[in-house]
Structure 1
Amino acid sequence: MDQETISRKRQLNKGKACFNCRRRKVKCDAKKPICTPCGRFIGGGLQDCEYTETGPAQSQILQEQIAILESRIQELEQPKATRKSIGLQNPYTASRPGISDVAPGEAASTGRKSFSQALAFFPYARQVGFFLSPQLFEALSRGIAPSDVASLALLDTIYLWGAHLSRSGTVHTSSTHQDGFLSDALRSTAAGLLHASPNTILHTIQAELLLAQYFFHNSRILEGKYHASAALSISLSSGLHKIRSADVRDSVRLVMDSFSPAATALEEGERINAFWAVFAVNNCWLAADGSPADIAYTVVDTPWPLDIGEYSEDSCTLPLQSRGTIANFLANFPDRGASTPALHAKAAILFEQASRLAARYTENVGLRAPTAMLSAEFSMLDGVIEAFKTTLTPFEFDGPQSRLLIHTLVHVATIQLHNPFFFTSDISCTRSRAAAMAVVTLVRQTNLRDLGYVNAIMGTLWTAACQVFITELSRTQYGPSERRDIRQLGEVIETLLSAMSVFSGGCRMIELQLATAQQKYAAAKRR
């Protein structure tokens, strides 16, 4: 029999074909990981060649999430409109309840979860982007039923991270179990806003943020950006960027829409910290891959966040009214933002602004004739970055992970800003090299193996610092007088590579960044 006849005999019925072939109505031979029709597609194969015998395809889950979020955002923007039902496909045949039947706080019944997994997440919660009060974990540790303190969406994402971060048991080593946790978290988070209340809205924002961080950690950038954008969209639609706004109309809208006035200072604090946590994560990753910004800084009035334990009834730390929080910061006006969450948000803003301004120089006006406006923006931003660095020196962070992340972000902001002029300006070259050395010093001063976890964006930041020294190495001639410089460059590059190797085993994003940096280093040494 010829190959074509064999292929015809192997063609399957519709129920066993891959999701993409069923959608395009073509015959499928069910080859894995990519079937023959998908493999023939221009560009090396379709990426959505997925099989749904054991559950929904990722494409189906994303479509369902988009439909639910779009509907919920429309409700938040038009709170007085009559609520319409959402007509969705029901591809789920798993043992969990259907998403339309899941109520807030309803416990999962997969039989694979325990409180210990949730508690394993607690030591790393802040580094992953957890902005809610730690009272949640205190309640869990006292044996209070999870359904009494957290929504199903939030619990599922905590279980997912707890399984991933666990250092004991079989869950951490079993990809099958983690896939099950992820599937549960995606479905319950997509359904999180079907039963809207102030508590479930905030918990859904938190769940979306944790999912985004999980995907970034595993180098699934598109999915990470989707969930980060979803968290930001819900935050903006709920008015979390207008808390304590000096504009009375904005403050009134916030009360009339999703949230009633906060009953306690802690409740308001969670809302403030929610916005800034989502904002910082979203900003870093959009800047990292050059995606366009999805929020205008001028609309943000919410005051800078405090550490969650600092909110109290008689606290005067927050201003009575707030306006232009980010705009004032970028204008170098003094403010009250000195907490760890505030410094993280500020560092993320500087990293994002420096990356975008450098791109404008490189892509739009070239290096030889920058406009007067761009030059003024460059000088202003450079001044803000340097001023911000001085505020970090005496500051005591709540942990070495926070110190490492915030300091590295701001030093890499300097590298990004001066990158277009690295070869044409001695000042920019010197400033970039000094910032990269500051990153190396941070690494050397930190006991990395005791951290357990670092934010996945650290892979991108360490690679940027590493690139400064690799570029220097490529330019250096191997004469007798340069051998010492070459040896020193090799030492600092290997310091950064070693830092990435510490976390590459547990973080796919850092693993890929490490491989890229190693290849560039090897190429530079061969020159």
Structure 2
Amino acid sequence: MRCAEPVQGRYHCAAAASLALGARLHLTGSPPQNSQSYPSFPMPASTTSVVANVEVHAFETVVILSNCWVAADGTPPPIPCGVLFDTPRLHGGPSLQRLLSGADITGLSSVAVLAKAGTLLRRIIWFTGSNESAPDLVMFSSLERRLLAFRAQLPPLPGDQVLILTHAHTDLALLRLHAPYSSTWEHSRSQALAACARIIEGIKGLQRIKPRYIDPVFGPIYWTIANVYISEITLASQRAPEFNFPNNAPNMHAELSQLRAWLTWLAPHSPIFDRCLVDITMAVDKFSH
């Protein structure tokens, strides 16, 4: 991702997910007889706690990596949403499946909360991808409530980079939930734009971090926001008066400028930020003329 090679990155991520599922790392807590229907090449039974811990760490890493690529390009995750995890936690507590599915984040590490945010984003992308025309309103409302409840539990910004990324994943999930309907539904439009504004607000916390240490996934996230703003500015001039949507174009122009300035600062330190800056600049120049 840092090298701006998404095809190769997605390929390797999918390969890692395939290996993890094939080795039954997602079923570490299940007896072998409970999972004979899974085509697999199961690992030998763990003989020590050290080996078991390595397996759990490996699968948690694959889950987080999968979620990061989902955040980066919005494509379906390499670990399908229907796959159930029966992987224990290293220090006790709920299994990985229960941790990622539950609503409470009390007592969880910052990385575990980030994994939960990424899992919510993964589900949103699956939902919007399977409901392109008319969404299931019951499911839509349920997902929105869950995202808002999860976001309300997060510690406030500013914070460290993991917390900023957790907020960004959560707001990106809200954005992707509402974006398909924002051109005709004011509620979705306001929610999508509010999510964009909060992600941009997180830039203030990242300014304290050396550029080479900033997670490359922020580049595609900012690129997504820029495209939302560009589309909104373009549609604002074409929208029929009866929609009576507020004109946020001046704010969007200002936030686009802020994004470009931020990416200009990051571009020399990572090809992915440079690529995103070039793409955004070309898109802005196109609609400006």
Q: CA deviation at 1:355?
A: 2.3
Distance 1:232 1:318, change over 3 A: same
| 1:277/1:345 contact within 8 Å kept | no
**Distance (Å, rounded) in 1 between the aligned partners of 2:284 and 2:56:** 43
Partner of 1:279: 63
**Distance (Å, rounded) in 1 between the aligned partners of 2:129 and 2:16:** 26
Partner amino acid, structure 2, of 1:500: L
1:516 to 255, 279, 283: 279
Partner of 2:187: 427
TM-score by length of 1: 0.47
Distance 1:225 1:260, change over 3 A: same
Q: CA deviation at 1:293?
A: 4.4
**Distance (Å, rounded) in 2 between the aligned partners of 1:401 and 1:476:** 34
Structure 1, 229-238 or 437-446: larger mean CA deviation: 229-238
Structure 1, 431-440 or 512-521: larger mean CA deviation: 512-521
Q: CA deviation at 1:323?
A: 7.8
Pairing 1:21-170 to 2, within 5 Å after superposition: none
| 1:337/1:343 contact within 8 Å kept | no
Distance 1:250 1:451, change over 3 A: farther
Deviations 1:226-273 (A, max 9, x none): 22122222222222112334x6735999xx942443633x65443222
Q: CA deviation at 1:377?
A: 2.1
Partner amino acid, structure 2, of 1:318: G
Partner amino acid, structure 1, of 2:98: T
Deviations 1:100-124 (A, max 9, x none): xxxxxxxxxxxxxxxxxxxxxxxxx
| 2:86/2:97 contact within 8 Å kept | yes
1:353 aligns with 2:123: yes
1:318 aligns with 2:93: yes
Partner amino acid, structure 2, of 1:228: C
1:377 to 116, 139, 146: 139
Q: CA deviation at 1:291?
A: 4.5
Partner amino acid, structure 2, of 1:382: E
Partner of 1:416: 176
Partner of 2:244: none
Which of the two has higher C-alpha Rg? Answer: 1
Q: CA deviation at 1:292?
A: 6.2
| 1:382/1:414 contact within 8 Å kept | yes
Structure 1's unaligned 5+ residue stretches are: 1-215, 306-310, 478-483
Partner of 1:225: 10
**Distance (Å, rounded) in 2 between the aligned partners of 1:296 and 1:488:** 37
TM-score by length of 2: 0.80
Pairing 1:85-484 to 2, within 5 Å after superposition: 216-245=1-30, 249-250=33-34, 257-261=42-46, 263-264=48-49, 267-286=51-70, 288=73, 290-291=75-76, 293-303=78-88, 315=91, 317-319=92-94, 322=95, 324-325=97-98, 329=101, 333-334=103-104, 338-362=108-132, 366=133, 370=134, 374-393=136-155, 400-447=160-207, 450-476=210-236
Distance 1:261 1:453, change over 3 A: same
| 1:238/1:257 contact within 8 Å kept | yes
Q: CA deviation at 1:508?
A: 1.9
Q: Which has the higher helix share?
A: 2
Structure 1, 413-422 or 444-453: larger mean CA deviation: 444-453
**Distance (Å, rounded) in 2 between the aligned partners of 1:401 and 1:335:** 18
| 1:340/1:402 contact within 8 Å kept | yes
Deviations 1:188-243 (A, max 9, x none): xxxxxxxxxxxxxxxxxxxxxxxxxxxx2212222222221222222222221123
Q: Give the RMSD, CA atoms, in angstroms.
A: 3.2
**Distance (Å, rounded) in 2 between the aligned partners of 1:280 and 1:258:** 21
Partner amino acid, structure 1, of 2:113: L
Secondary structure in 2 matching 1:299:
coil
Q: CA deviation at 1:489?
A: 2.3
Secondary structure in 1 matching 2:4:
coil
**Distance (Å, rounded) in 1 between the aligned partners of 2:231 and 2:77:** 27
Distance 1:289 1:476, change over 3 A: closer
Distance 1:430 1:493, change over 3 A: same
Distance 1:354 1:493, change over 3 A: same
Q: CA deviation at 1:376?
A: 2.2
Distance 1:235 1:468, change over 3 A: same
Q: CA deviation at 1:286?
A: 4.8
| 2:25/2:59 contact within 8 Å kept | yes
| 1:244/1:301 contact within 8 Å kept | yes
Distance 1:292 1:403, change over 3 A: closer
**Distance (Å, rounded) in 1 between the aligned partners of 2:77 and 2:202:** 30
Partner amino acid, structure 2, of 1:270: V
Percent identity over the alignment is 20
| 1:474/1:525 contact within 8 Å kept | no
2:252 to 483, 489, 499: 489
